[in-house]
Structure 1
Amino acid sequence: MVEQPNWLPKGVDLEKPSAARCYDYYLGGAHNFAVDREFARQVQQIAPNVGELAQNNRAFLRRAVRYCVDNGIDQFLDLGSGIPTVGNVHEIAQRVNPSAKVVYVDNEPVAVAHSQTMLADNPNAAMVHADMLDVDTVFAAPQTRELLDLTKPVAVMMVAVMHFVGDDKQPQEVVRRYTERLAPGSYLGFSHVTGDHYRDELESAVSLYANSTNPLTLRSRGEVEGLLSDLDLIDPGVVYVPLWQPESPEDVWEDPSRSWIYAAVGRLP
């Protein structure tokens, strides 16, 4: 048994790595543990640039939120939000619109604890401790009911989370159960790991993640488009993350497929 620090929230499994805590490590954060760092180092042997991949995905989140704000969205639901780091949704949105409302959802106790601390003095943002697959619980949470007006458009962020939802969990139904609660004109920001290129490396990563608390499922571009079939995709559609509305030519990688992740933003008709 691994001895748990006194400050650690109840329910944290330190015997297995957590995707949220590994992602925190890739981004240079400090809210991770030895089991996460050892796992992350194994991933780095497969993908030495995994930190850059994580940063690239985070940059897509920033661009997607800004796009939504620029198009009149002032309320956000961030699913599988993870451990707070620089450039959280409320920071991006409220920098432009201080009255923007943001609800975060995660089931990882460390992510929840640190988010609650960070948001303690922010009346327009809150954390819901729930599994994003439990859609009814997410929408019934007091924080969601208080902050989000579902009669008006909402931007839902599913960034780097749905590849942790296996086919047995009916991912398309999960997406549909969220979008059917939203008003017309709502948006969905979405990113997902794929094996369309660099398949051998990705399969090795899948094997590693099979031993974590968050097994990984690769999906093709066509499968990602299928998950978003109820939405009108914003130009340029489903593309590798460096290609989704880059802010400068330097943002576009020489080989965008090396990012491993597809990204898209869709609008609900």
Structure 2
Amino acid sequence: MHSPITGTAAGVPFTALPPADGGAAPLIVTWHMLDAPRSNAAFAAALPMNGLPAWRVHLGMPMCGARMVDGSMDAGLELIREDVLMSFLYAFVKQAFEEFPAALAAVRAQLPVGDGPVGVLGGSLGGAVALRVLAETDVPIFAGAVVNAAIRMRSVVDLFPGEYPYDAESSKAVDSLDFVPKADAIAGHAPLLVVSGEQDHPALRADAISLAEKLGDRSELLSIPELAHPLADEPGIEPAPQSPLARAVDVGLTTWFRRHLADVT
């Protein structure tokens, strides 16, 4: 097994895991959670998808991992206190989504991944980035997957204390990150695996089921018994041994992507 490769793609830090032979192969791009594992390196350790005949390139979310301010998540926590939606949740998804085209081009220039269709994967808030890519871009994608994803951003906002003071701008922003109404666009782009922990937040669990049902035969719902929202123990910044529950998710993702890679290799 090859060691992870670390680098930067158009300013976005990444952790790349090569295929077994280390050579040319298709590409799967991921965006990590903001719960544990909350860095590209930690997400790569939790969900390595080893054995896939593909490069897995785990991109860093804003202000996480190598982009933490002064080596901590304190600046991100301050943004939550400032405005959990507009300064934090919406802003992070927007930045990660807008960084993707240049980061993808830079990854293609640095690694032997070719210019064919890619796979996309996102966990929690990173799931909203993957879903935006599926719903709103024409990037060729052979398959997508999300894990305990932020499928309806209002559900995520409701997890934070207090009643959020929506106005016209924030209502428009939060509704733009509701992917159940965008199911037709997602289904038209690529098949999607929806992974949901049976012990995830009830609203997020319900959203996962709703999205899978709306996608119909273009989707599969993989329920993981006993899995809550995180995939790793705190603090979740550095790579850690894969937990048994993360292993169950990893097996499901590996099986899913291997099936659809057969169409592009």
TM-score, normalised relative to structure 1: 0.38
More relative contact order, 1 or 2 (CA 8 Å, 6+ apart): 2
TM-score (normalised: structure 2)? 0.38
